[in-house]
Chain A
Protein backbone atom coordinates (compact mmCIF):
# COMPACT_ATOMS: atom_id res chain seq x y z
CA UNK A 1 0.00 0.00 0.00
CA UNK A 2 2.63 2.37 1.17
CA UNK A 3 4.88 1.54 -1.76
CA UNK A 4 2.03 1.88 -4.17
CA UNK A 5 1.25 5.38 -2.98
CA UNK A 6 4.94 6.25 -3.01
CA UNK A 7 5.34 4.92 -6.53
CA UNK A 8 2.38 6.94 -7.67
CA UNK A 9 3.47 10.10 -5.91
CA UNK A 10 6.95 9.75 -7.33
CA UNK A 11 5.47 9.82 -10.80
CA UNK A 12 4.68 13.49 -10.28
CA UNK A 13 7.41 15.15 -12.28
CA UNK A 14 9.72 17.58 -10.57
CA UNK A 15 10.05 20.85 -12.48
CA UNK A 16 13.52 22.26 -13.11
CA UNK A 17 12.86 25.47 -11.26
CA UNK A 18 11.96 23.77 -8.00
CA UNK A 19 15.17 24.55 -6.13
CA UNK A 20 15.14 28.07 -7.45
CA UNK A 21 11.69 28.62 -5.97
CA UNK A 22 12.85 27.33 -2.57
CA UNK A 23 15.71 29.81 -2.74
CA UNK A 24 13.31 32.60 -3.62
CA UNK A 25 11.25 31.91 -0.50
CA UNK A 26 14.37 32.06 1.65
CA UNK A 27 15.58 35.23 -0.09
CA UNK A 28 12.30 36.97 0.71
CA UNK A 29 12.90 36.37 4.40
CA UNK A 30 16.51 37.55 4.12
CA UNK A 31 15.37 40.74 2.46
CA UNK A 32 12.83 41.34 5.20
CA UNK A 33 15.48 40.73 7.83
CA UNK A 34 17.68 43.38 6.22
CA UNK A 35 14.82 45.84 6.15
CA UNK A 36 14.03 45.12 9.78
CA UNK A 37 17.62 45.84 10.74
CA UNK A 38 17.46 49.18 8.98
CA UNK A 39 14.26 50.05 10.79
CA UNK A 40 15.79 49.00 14.08
CA UNK A 41 18.62 51.49 13.64
CA UNK A 42 16.12 54.30 13.33
CA UNK A 43 13.66 53.22 15.94
CA UNK A 44 16.06 51.31 18.14
CA UNK A 45 15.22 53.11 21.32
CA UNK A 46 11.49 52.62 20.93
CA UNK A 47 11.85 48.95 20.19
CA UNK A 48 14.18 48.39 23.10
CA UNK A 49 11.66 50.00 25.42
CA UNK A 50 8.88 47.78 24.08
CA UNK A 51 10.98 44.69 24.58
CA UNK A 52 11.63 45.60 28.19
CA UNK A 53 7.94 45.96 28.84
CA UNK A 54 7.24 42.61 27.23
CA UNK A 55 9.89 40.82 29.21
CA UNK A 56 8.74 42.42 32.41
CA UNK A 57 5.17 41.25 32.05
CA UNK A 58 3.95 37.77 32.94
CA UNK A 59 3.27 36.49 29.51
CA UNK A 60 3.16 33.14 27.95
CA UNK A 61 3.22 32.43 24.32
CA UNK A 62 2.00 29.00 24.61
CA UNK A 63 4.07 26.09 23.80
CA UNK A 64 4.17 22.39 23.46
CA UNK A 65 1.70 20.32 25.42
CA UNK A 66 2.49 16.85 26.72
CA UNK A 67 2.04 15.29 23.37
CA UNK A 68 3.56 17.98 21.30
CA UNK A 69 0.45 19.75 20.12
CA UNK A 70 0.52 23.46 20.45
CA UNK A 71 -2.17 24.93 22.59
CA UNK A 72 -3.67 28.39 22.49
CA UNK A 73 -1.54 31.49 22.38
CA UNK A 74 -3.14 33.51 25.10
CA UNK A 75 -1.52 35.45 27.83
CA UNK A 76 -1.87 33.76 31.15
CA UNK A 77 -1.78 35.69 34.36
CA UNK A 78 -0.33 34.68 37.69
CA UNK A 79 -2.22 36.29 40.56
CA UNK A 80 -0.63 37.30 43.83
CA UNK A 81 -2.18 34.30 45.59
CA UNK A 82 -0.42 31.97 43.14
CA UNK A 83 -3.57 31.12 41.17
CA UNK A 84 -3.38 31.18 37.39
CA UNK A 85 -5.95 32.75 35.12
CA UNK A 86 -6.42 31.03 31.80
CA UNK A 87 -8.34 33.35 29.52
CA UNK A 88 -10.75 32.05 26.90
CA UNK A 89 -9.01 30.98 23.72
CA UNK A 90 -8.41 33.88 21.36
CA UNK A 91 -7.19 33.74 17.84
CA UNK A 92 -3.58 34.84 17.47
CA UNK A 93 -3.07 37.80 15.19
CA UNK A 94 -0.90 35.87 12.83
CA UNK A 95 -2.78 32.68 12.06
CA UNK A 96 -0.28 31.43 9.53
CA UNK A 97 1.65 29.61 12.19
CA UNK A 98 -1.33 28.89 14.43
CA UNK A 99 -2.50 25.39 15.09
CA UNK A 100 -5.98 24.04 15.09
CA UNK A 101 -7.18 21.80 17.85
CA UNK A 102 -10.55 20.11 18.01
CA UNK A 103 -12.95 22.49 19.70
CA UNK A 104 -16.65 23.14 20.19
CA UNK A 105 -18.37 26.30 21.37
CA UNK A 106 -21.20 25.57 23.78
CA UNK A 107 -22.94 27.91 26.16
CA UNK A 108 -20.42 30.59 25.30
CA UNK A 109 -17.54 28.38 26.47
CA UNK A 110 -14.83 26.78 24.40
CA UNK A 111 -14.44 23.03 24.90
CA UNK A 112 -11.30 21.48 23.49
CA UNK A 113 -10.20 17.95 22.74
CA UNK A 114 -8.74 16.39 25.81
CA UNK A 115 -6.67 13.66 27.39
CA UNK A 116 -9.53 11.57 28.70
CA UNK A 117 -10.93 8.98 26.36
CA UNK A 118 -13.76 6.51 26.39
CA UNK A 119 -14.73 3.60 24.18
CA UNK A 120 -17.98 4.16 22.38
CA UNK A 121 -19.55 1.13 24.04
CA UNK A 122 -18.90 2.56 27.50
CA UNK A 123 -19.89 6.03 26.34
CA UNK A 124 -23.34 4.71 25.51
CA UNK A 125 -23.94 4.02 29.20
CA UNK A 126 -23.14 7.55 30.35
CA UNK A 127 -24.51 9.53 27.48
CA UNK A 128 -26.66 12.36 28.82
CA UNK A 129 -29.02 14.82 27.19
CA UNK A 130 -28.51 15.90 23.63
CA UNK A 131 -27.28 19.49 23.74
CA UNK A 132 -27.20 20.18 20.02
CA UNK A 133 -25.25 19.54 16.84
CA UNK A 134 -21.97 21.15 15.96
CA UNK A 135 -21.38 23.16 12.83
CA UNK A 136 -17.99 22.82 11.19
CA UNK A 137 -17.66 26.55 10.88
CA UNK A 138 -14.26 27.28 12.39
CA UNK A 139 -11.09 26.78 10.44
CA UNK A 140 -7.64 28.29 10.49
CA UNK A 141 -8.88 31.35 8.68
CA UNK A 142 -11.86 32.12 10.87
CA UNK A 143 -12.13 35.50 12.49
CA UNK A 144 -12.66 35.83 16.20
CA UNK A 145 -16.41 36.34 15.69
CA UNK A 146 -16.72 32.75 14.51
CA UNK A 147 -15.85 31.70 18.05
CA UNK A 148 -18.90 33.49 19.40
CA UNK A 149 -21.39 31.32 17.58
CA UNK A 150 -23.08 28.54 19.55
CA UNK A 151 -21.98 25.04 18.45
CA UNK A 152 -19.39 26.44 16.07
CA UNK A 153 -16.61 23.87 15.90
CA UNK A 154 -13.50 22.69 14.13
CA UNK A 155 -14.73 19.10 14.02
CA UNK A 156 -17.41 19.10 11.37
CA UNK A 157 -21.01 18.20 12.10
CA UNK A 158 -21.69 15.85 14.97
CA UNK A 159 -24.16 15.52 17.85
CA UNK A 160 -23.11 16.78 21.26
CA UNK A 161 -24.33 15.38 24.57
CA UNK A 162 -23.85 16.01 28.24
CA UNK A 163 -22.07 13.24 30.14
CA UNK A 164 -23.76 11.59 33.10
CA UNK A 165 -21.72 12.02 36.26
CA UNK A 166 -19.81 15.06 34.97
CA UNK A 167 -20.55 18.75 35.06
CA UNK A 168 -21.52 19.90 31.58
CA UNK A 169 -19.83 23.22 32.24
CA UNK A 170 -16.65 21.17 32.23
CA UNK A 171 -17.15 18.14 29.96
CA UNK A 172 -19.33 17.33 26.99
CA UNK A 173 -19.21 14.47 24.55
CA UNK A 174 -19.63 13.93 20.84
CA UNK A 175 -21.31 10.68 19.92
CA UNK A 176 -22.28 9.20 16.62
CA UNK A 177 -23.40 5.86 15.30
CA UNK A 178 -22.87 4.96 11.68
CA UNK A 179 -23.20 1.61 10.03
CA UNK A 180 -23.16 -0.11 13.40
CA UNK A 181 -19.94 1.69 14.36
CA UNK A 182 -19.89 4.20 17.15
CA UNK A 183 -17.62 7.14 17.76
CA UNK A 184 -17.40 8.98 21.05
CA UNK A 185 -15.08 11.74 22.16
CA UNK A 186 -14.90 13.95 25.21
CA UNK A 187 -14.36 17.72 25.00
CA UNK A 188 -13.47 19.78 28.05
CA UNK A 189 -13.59 23.41 29.00
CA UNK A 190 -10.10 24.10 30.30
CA UNK A 191 -9.87 27.78 29.44
CA UNK A 192 -11.58 30.93 30.58
CA UNK A 193 -11.06 29.92 34.19
CA UNK A 194 -8.89 30.58 37.22
CA UNK A 195 -6.94 27.72 38.70
CA UNK A 196 -5.89 28.08 42.32
CA UNK A 197 -4.96 24.46 42.86
CA UNK A 198 -5.33 21.06 41.25
CA UNK A 199 -8.82 20.81 42.70
CA UNK A 200 -10.06 23.24 40.06
CA UNK A 201 -9.18 20.71 37.38
CA UNK A 202 -8.70 17.23 38.78
CA UNK A 203 -11.78 17.07 41.00
CA UNK A 204 -13.86 17.51 37.86
CA UNK A 205 -12.47 14.26 36.49
CA UNK A 206 -14.14 12.29 39.32
CA UNK A 207 -11.19 9.99 39.78
CA UNK A 208 -11.12 9.61 43.56
CA UNK A 209 -12.99 6.49 44.62
CA UNK A 210 -13.78 5.54 41.03
CA UNK A 211 -10.60 3.86 39.84
CA UNK A 212 -10.85 0.38 38.39
CA UNK A 213 -7.22 -0.01 37.33
CA UNK A 214 -4.22 1.95 36.12
CA UNK A 215 -1.24 1.42 33.89
CA UNK A 216 1.75 3.34 32.65
CA UNK A 217 4.24 3.46 29.83
CA UNK A 218 7.61 5.03 29.16
CA UNK A 219 8.29 7.93 26.81
CA UNK A 220 9.48 5.98 23.77
CA UNK A 221 6.42 3.70 23.85
CA UNK A 222 4.14 6.68 24.21
CA UNK A 223 5.95 8.58 21.49
CA UNK A 224 5.81 5.71 19.03
CA UNK A 225 2.30 4.76 19.97
CA UNK A 226 3.34 1.34 21.22
CA UNK A 227 0.79 -0.08 23.60
CA UNK A 228 3.35 -1.48 25.96
CA UNK A 229 1.56 -0.69 29.21
CA UNK A 230 2.64 -1.94 32.58
CA UNK A 231 -0.02 -2.37 35.25
CA UNK A 232 0.13 -0.30 38.39
CA UNK A 233 -0.42 -2.66 41.28
CA UNK A 234 -0.33 -0.51 44.41
CA UNK A 235 -3.78 1.06 44.61
CA UNK A 236 -3.04 2.63 47.98
CA UNK A 237 -0.23 4.69 46.52
CA UNK A 238 -2.39 5.59 43.52
CA UNK A 239 -5.31 6.69 45.67
CA UNK A 240 -3.05 8.84 47.84
CA UNK A 241 -1.65 10.37 44.66
CA UNK A 242 -5.13 11.13 43.34
CA UNK A 243 -6.13 12.74 46.64
CA UNK A 244 -2.97 14.83 46.54
CA UNK A 245 -3.80 16.01 43.02
CA UNK A 246 -6.36 18.34 44.58
CA UNK A 247 -3.54 20.22 46.30
CA UNK A 248 -1.06 20.50 43.44
CA UNK A 249 0.14 23.95 42.55
CA UNK A 250 -0.44 25.39 39.05
CA UNK A 251 2.60 26.74 37.19
CA UNK A 252 2.78 28.62 33.92
CA UNK A 253 4.18 26.87 30.90
CA UNK A 254 6.66 29.49 29.85
CA UNK A 255 8.50 29.12 26.63
CA UNK A 256 11.93 28.77 28.11
CA UNK A 257 11.21 27.08 31.40
CA UNK A 258 8.62 24.44 30.63
CA UNK A 259 10.17 21.29 32.13
CA UNK A 260 8.57 19.00 29.57
CA UNK A 261 10.76 20.37 26.81
CA UNK A 262 13.81 18.77 28.42
CA UNK A 263 12.04 15.64 29.58
CA UNK A 264 11.21 13.86 26.41
CA UNK A 265 13.15 10.77 27.40
CA UNK A 266 12.52 7.44 29.10
CA UNK A 267 14.12 8.46 32.36
CA UNK A 268 12.06 11.56 33.08
CA UNK A 269 8.70 10.97 31.38
CA UNK A 270 5.80 8.63 32.16
CA UNK A 271 2.31 8.48 30.82
CA UNK A 272 -0.08 7.32 33.53
CA UNK A 273 -3.48 6.04 32.42
CA UNK A 274 -6.17 5.80 35.06
CA UNK A 275 -9.16 3.64 34.16
CA UNK A 276 -12.35 4.66 35.88
CA UNK A 277 -15.39 2.53 36.68
CA UNK A 278 -17.44 4.26 33.99
CA UNK A 279 -14.95 3.21 31.31
CA UNK A 280 -13.22 6.56 30.86
CA UNK A 281 -9.45 6.64 30.70
CA UNK A 282 -7.68 9.68 32.11
CA UNK A 283 -4.19 10.15 30.75
CA UNK A 284 -1.73 12.19 32.78
CA UNK A 285 1.87 12.96 31.99
CA UNK A 286 4.21 12.76 34.95
CA UNK A 287 7.74 14.11 35.00
CA UNK A 288 10.35 12.80 37.39
CA UNK A 289 10.81 16.11 39.18
CA UNK A 290 7.22 16.09 40.45
CA UNK A 291 5.37 17.75 37.60
CA UNK A 292 2.00 16.72 36.21
CA UNK A 293 0.34 17.68 32.93
CA UNK A 294 -3.22 17.19 31.79
CA UNK A 295 -5.01 18.15 28.60
CA UNK A 296 -4.29 21.06 26.33
CA UNK A 297 -3.61 23.68 28.95
CA UNK A 298 -1.15 26.50 29.39
CA UNK A 299 -0.35 25.28 32.90
CA UNK A 300 1.22 22.27 34.54
CA UNK A 301 1.19 21.25 38.18
CA UNK A 302 3.75 20.60 40.86
CA UNK A 303 3.14 18.00 43.56
CA UNK A 304 4.44 17.61 47.07
CA UNK A 305 7.69 15.67 46.79
CA UNK A 306 6.90 12.95 49.33
CA UNK A 307 3.65 11.80 47.73
CA UNK A 308 5.01 12.16 44.23
CA UNK A 309 8.16 10.15 44.83
CA UNK A 310 6.11 7.22 46.17
CA UNK A 311 4.06 7.32 43.00
CA UNK A 312 7.15 7.66 40.80
CA UNK A 313 8.73 4.62 42.42
CA UNK A 314 5.74 2.59 41.16
CA UNK A 315 6.52 3.63 37.62
CA UNK A 316 9.89 1.90 37.26
Chain B
Protein backbone atom coordinates (compact mmCIF):
# COMPACT_ATOMS: atom_id res chain seq x y z
CA UNK B 1 0.00 0.00 0.00
CA UNK B 2 2.80 2.39 0.88
CA UNK B 3 4.13 1.99 -2.64
CA UNK B 4 0.79 2.90 -4.11
CA UNK B 5 0.64 6.00 -1.91
CA UNK B 6 4.08 7.07 -3.07
CA UNK B 7 3.12 6.56 -6.71
CA UNK B 8 -0.10 8.47 -6.18
CA UNK B 9 1.87 11.30 -4.59
CA UNK B 10 3.83 11.56 -7.81
CA UNK B 11 0.56 12.01 -9.71
CA UNK B 12 -0.11 8.41 -10.75
CA UNK B 13 -3.90 8.40 -11.01
CA UNK B 14 -4.18 4.64 -11.49
CA UNK B 15 -2.28 4.01 -8.27
CA UNK B 16 -4.47 6.51 -6.50
CA UNK B 17 -7.68 4.95 -7.78
CA UNK B 18 -6.52 1.50 -6.72
CA UNK B 19 -6.06 2.89 -3.23
CA UNK B 20 -9.20 4.94 -3.14
CA UNK B 21 -11.43 2.16 -4.38
CA UNK B 22 -10.47 0.03 -1.40
CA UNK B 23 -12.25 2.56 0.76
CA UNK B 24 -14.95 3.94 -1.51
CA UNK B 25 -17.71 1.76 -0.09
CA UNK B 26 -16.82 2.77 3.46
CA UNK B 27 -16.79 6.39 2.42
CA UNK B 28 -20.13 6.08 0.67
CA UNK B 29 -21.79 4.49 3.68
CA UNK B 30 -20.31 7.01 6.09
CA UNK B 31 -21.46 9.84 3.85
CA UNK B 32 -24.93 8.34 3.63
CA UNK B 33 -25.33 8.54 7.40
CA UNK B 34 -24.63 12.28 7.25
CA UNK B 35 -26.40 13.30 4.08
CA UNK B 36 -29.23 10.76 4.19
CA UNK B 37 -29.65 10.12 0.49
CA UNK B 38 -27.90 8.31 -2.34
CA UNK B 39 -27.39 11.22 -4.67
CA UNK B 40 -25.67 13.43 -2.09
CA UNK B 41 -23.65 10.53 -0.74
CA UNK B 42 -22.32 9.91 -4.26
CA UNK B 43 -21.44 13.59 -4.53
CA UNK B 44 -19.48 13.25 -1.29
CA UNK B 45 -17.56 10.28 -2.69
CA UNK B 46 -16.66 12.19 -5.85
CA UNK B 47 -15.64 15.27 -3.89
CA UNK B 48 -13.58 13.14 -1.50
CA UNK B 49 -11.79 11.54 -4.47
CA UNK B 50 -11.17 15.00 -5.91
CA UNK B 51 -9.86 16.60 -2.73
CA UNK B 52 -7.77 13.65 -1.69
CA UNK B 53 -6.05 13.13 -5.06
CA UNK B 54 -5.44 16.86 -5.30
CA UNK B 55 -3.76 17.03 -1.91
CA UNK B 56 -2.17 13.61 -1.53
CA UNK B 57 1.24 15.08 -2.27
CA UNK B 58 0.98 16.83 1.09
CA UNK B 59 0.42 13.60 3.01
CA UNK B 60 3.62 13.22 4.99
CA UNK B 61 3.13 9.78 6.44
CA UNK B 62 1.83 7.32 3.84
CA UNK B 63 0.90 4.85 6.56
CA UNK B 64 -1.78 7.26 7.75
CA UNK B 65 -3.49 7.25 4.36
CA UNK B 66 -6.67 5.68 5.66
CA UNK B 67 -7.28 8.08 8.58
CA UNK B 68 -6.27 11.00 6.36
CA UNK B 69 -8.79 9.92 3.74
CA UNK B 70 -11.52 9.43 6.33
CA UNK B 71 -10.89 12.92 7.64
CA UNK B 72 -11.42 14.33 4.15
CA UNK B 73 -14.58 12.27 3.70
CA UNK B 74 -15.98 13.51 7.02
CA UNK B 75 -15.18 17.09 6.07
CA UNK B 76 -16.82 16.70 2.65
CA UNK B 77 -19.92 15.23 4.26
CA UNK B 78 -20.11 18.04 6.81
CA UNK B 79 -19.61 20.61 4.05
CA UNK B 80 -22.60 19.24 2.21
CA UNK B 81 -24.77 19.03 5.31
CA UNK B 82 -23.77 22.57 6.12
CA UNK B 83 -24.80 23.82 2.70
CA UNK B 84 -28.18 22.25 3.27
CA UNK B 85 -28.76 23.39 6.82
CA UNK B 86 -26.63 26.53 7.08
CA UNK B 87 -25.39 25.65 10.56
CA UNK B 88 -23.54 22.58 11.68
CA UNK B 89 -21.91 22.46 15.00
CA UNK B 90 -18.75 20.46 14.60
CA UNK B 91 -18.35 19.95 18.29
CA UNK B 92 -21.67 20.12 20.00
CA UNK B 93 -21.96 21.44 23.49
CA UNK B 94 -21.25 19.18 26.39
CA UNK B 95 -24.82 18.88 27.33
CA UNK B 96 -27.36 16.19 27.81
CA UNK B 97 -27.65 13.74 30.62
CA UNK B 98 -24.76 11.38 30.78
CA UNK B 99 -25.46 8.36 32.89
CA UNK B 100 -22.79 7.36 35.33
CA UNK B 101 -22.49 3.86 34.01
CA UNK B 102 -22.33 4.29 30.27
CA UNK B 103 -20.43 1.40 28.86
CA UNK B 104 -19.61 0.73 25.23
CA UNK B 105 -20.52 -2.90 25.56
CA UNK B 106 -23.73 -2.63 27.50
CA UNK B 107 -25.81 -1.46 24.61
CA UNK B 108 -26.60 -4.73 23.01
CA UNK B 109 -28.87 -3.34 20.67
CA UNK B 110 -31.46 -3.02 18.24
CA UNK B 111 -29.68 -0.01 16.80
CA UNK B 112 -30.67 0.58 13.20
CA UNK B 113 -29.20 2.74 10.49
CA UNK B 114 -32.18 4.98 11.00
CA UNK B 115 -31.24 5.48 14.68
CA UNK B 116 -27.75 6.52 13.67
CA UNK B 117 -29.09 8.90 11.09
CA UNK B 118 -31.89 10.39 13.09
CA UNK B 119 -30.88 10.28 16.73
CA UNK B 120 -27.33 11.55 16.54
CA UNK B 121 -25.97 14.95 15.66
CA UNK B 122 -23.06 15.35 13.24
CA UNK B 123 -20.32 15.18 15.85
CA UNK B 124 -21.80 12.08 17.44
CA UNK B 125 -22.22 10.37 14.07
CA UNK B 126 -18.55 11.01 13.32
CA UNK B 127 -17.30 9.52 16.56
CA UNK B 128 -19.64 6.50 16.52
CA UNK B 129 -18.84 5.65 12.89
CA UNK B 130 -15.10 6.04 13.33
CA UNK B 131 -15.09 4.01 16.51
CA UNK B 132 -17.37 1.14 15.54
CA UNK B 133 -17.40 1.08 11.74
CA UNK B 134 -13.82 2.05 11.06
CA UNK B 135 -12.47 0.57 14.31
CA UNK B 136 -10.31 3.58 15.08
CA UNK B 137 -8.89 4.09 18.56
CA UNK B 138 -9.88 7.14 20.58
CA UNK B 139 -6.53 8.67 19.78
CA UNK B 140 -7.00 8.10 16.06
CA UNK B 141 -10.48 9.57 16.23
CA UNK B 142 -9.20 12.59 18.10
CA UNK B 143 -6.51 13.04 15.43
CA UNK B 144 -8.90 12.44 12.55
CA UNK B 145 -11.48 14.91 13.79
CA UNK B 146 -8.99 17.21 15.49
CA UNK B 147 -10.73 17.32 18.76
CA UNK B 148 -9.21 16.69 22.18
CA UNK B 149 -9.05 13.07 23.32
CA UNK B 150 -11.30 13.73 26.32
CA UNK B 151 -13.92 15.33 24.12
CA UNK B 152 -13.90 12.28 21.83
CA UNK B 153 -14.75 10.03 24.74
CA UNK B 154 -17.39 12.42 26.05
CA UNK B 155 -19.08 12.59 22.66
CA UNK B 156 -19.05 8.81 22.22
CA UNK B 157 -20.50 8.12 25.64
CA UNK B 158 -23.13 10.75 25.14
CA UNK B 159 -24.05 9.26 21.75
CA UNK B 160 -24.33 5.77 23.22
CA UNK B 161 -26.36 7.11 26.08
CA UNK B 162 -28.67 8.84 23.63
CA UNK B 163 -29.12 5.68 21.56
CA UNK B 164 -29.79 3.67 24.66
CA UNK B 165 -32.31 6.14 26.01
CA UNK B 166 -34.08 6.28 22.70
CA UNK B 167 -34.27 2.53 22.59
CA UNK B 168 -35.66 2.45 26.10
CA UNK B 169 -38.12 5.10 25.08
CA UNK B 170 -39.18 2.96 22.14
CA UNK B 171 -39.70 0.02 24.43
CA UNK B 172 -42.01 2.00 26.66
CA UNK B 173 -44.39 2.53 23.83
CA UNK B 174 -44.41 -1.00 22.63
Contacts and interface: CB of A to CB of B under 8 A. Distances in A.
Nearest to A222: B139
A5 B113 CA distance: 8
Given A8-B113, A21-B46, A101-B146, A136 B93 contact: yes
Interface in A241-275: 255, 261, 264
B45 A23 contact: no
Interface string B41-64: 011011111110111001011001
A261 B42 contact: no
Contacts of A14: 25, 28-29
B133 A26 contact: no
Interface in B18-44: 20-21, 24-25, 28-30, 32-33, 38, 42-43
B93 A18 contact: no
Residue of B43, B47, B94 with most chain A CB atoms under a 10 A cut-off: B94
Contacts of B65: none
Given A2-B135, A22-B17, A102-B147, A181 B42 contact: no
Contact of B53 (A1, A25, A223): A25
Contact of A264 (B16, B32, B58, B61): B61
> For chain B, what secondary structure do more than half of its interface residues adopt (helix, strand, loop), or is it mixed?
helix
Contacts of B13: 26-27, 29-30
Contacts of B131: 2
Nearest to B138: A225
A25 B116 contact: no
A25 B95 contact: no
A136 B82 contact: no
Residue of A1, A70, A178 with most chain B CB atoms under a 10 A cut-off: A1
Interface stretch (A151-159, A191-199, A298-306): A151-159
A223 B142 CA distance: 12
A180 interface: yes
Interface of B: 11, 13, 16-17, 20-21, 24-25, 28-30, 32-33, 38, 42-43, 45-51, 53-55, 58, 60-61, 64, 71-72, 75, 78-79, 82, 88-95, 97-100, 104-105, 107-109, 111-113, 116, 128-129, 131-133, 135, 137-139, 142-143, 146-148, 150-151, 154
Contacts of A18: 24-25, 28, 42, 45
26 contacts: A1-B108, A4-B111, A5-B116, A8-B111, A11-B113, A14-B25, A15-B42, A19-B21, A19-B24, A22-B21, A25-B45, A25-B49, A26-B49, A29-B53, A63-B60, A69-B146, A99-B71, A99-B146, A101-B146, A117-B150, A140-B75, A140-B90, A155-B91, A156-B94, A183-B154, A261-B61
Contacts of B133: 5-6, 9
A178 B151 contact: no
Nearest to B42: A21
A16 to B, nearest CB: 10
Interface of A: 1-2, 4-6, 8-12, 14-15, 17-19, 21-30, 32-33, 63-64, 67-70, 96-97, 99-102, 113, 117, 136, 139-141, 154-158, 176, 178-181, 183, 185, 223-225, 255, 261, 264
Contacts of A9: 29-30, 33, 113, 116, 129, 133
